[in-house]
Amino acid sequence: MLIRDIAKIQTGILAKPEAAGDVVYLQAKHFDENGKLQSALKPDLKAGYSSKKHLLKHGDVLFAAKGSKNFATCYENENAPAVASTSFFVIRLVTDTILPKFLVWYLNYSKTQRFLKANAAGTSMVSISKSVLEDLEIPGPTIEEQQLILQITDLQNQEKQLRKQINLLHEKRVQHSIEKLIRQSASIF
């Protein structure tokens, strides 16, 4: 099935953030390369600036289509009401056969990313068009299989984090041993 068959896609809005507002204006700079919010966000757009159709709903998928950092993330309604900037396509699923987080996983999957980047247009600011995104074919595993894929991915990410922590602790232990040897040799003189 194609994304166009399971979702509606709209672009984010163009706005100028302010010091204070009623609505959060989500921009690509608020996310790391994995699509995780870098910090808590404060409303920085006046409510009248955006129409209700642009307000994000829990489970909307945001896809950063402009620039070299093309990632997908799932909007979770933890902050004030929010709208997406023009850096994003907002993908709203119209079916319950695909989980939003599975769609995010699939859009971030390395093979999908290679396909999207190969079909990007532009020279100075490359972007992925709405039509390329709409025509992207999505596999149709069952909900249970999608959940299993997400669980496996979560475990894999946890393993990566644990390996980083182990490596850091190993480096600290080695550094401590070297410093101990240096102190011991200094006390000999």
In this structure, the answer to whether residues 58 and 147 fall within a common structural domain is: no
How crowded is residue 138: how many other Cβ atoms within 10 Å of its Cβ? 18
In this structure, the answer to whether residues 135 and 156 fall within a common structural domain is: no
In this structure, the answer to whether residues 101 and 130 fall within a common structural domain is: yes
In this structure, the answer to whether residues 134 and 145 fall within a common structural domain is: no
- Average pLDDT of 120-147? 90
Tell me the helices (H) and strands (E) count for the chain, helix number first: 5, 6
The identity of residue 72, as a single letter, is A
Residue 159 vs residues 12, 66, 166: alpha-carbon distances, Å = 35, 31, 10
- Average pLDDT of 93-119? 94
In this structure, the answer to whether residues 112 and 152 fall within a common structural domain is: no
In this structure, the answer to whether residues 64 and 94 fall within a common structural domain is: yes
For 107, the domain range is 3-139
In this structure, the answer to whether residues 162 and 117 fall within a common structural domain is: no
- Cα separation, 114 vs 108, in Å, equals 10
In this structure, the answer to whether residues 152 and 98 fall within a common structural domain is: no
- Cα separation, 75 vs 60, in Å, equals 5
- Check residues 189 and 141 and name the one with the higher pLDDT: 141
Contact of 128 with 65, CB cutoff 8 Å: yes
Which pLDDT tens digit goes with each residue over 45-71? 877 756 677 899 999 999 999 888 889
- Report pTM: 0.81
In this structure, the answer to whether residues 84 and 134 fall within a common structural domain is: yes
- Average pLDDT of 128-133? 93
> Can you give the pLDDT at residue 92?
96
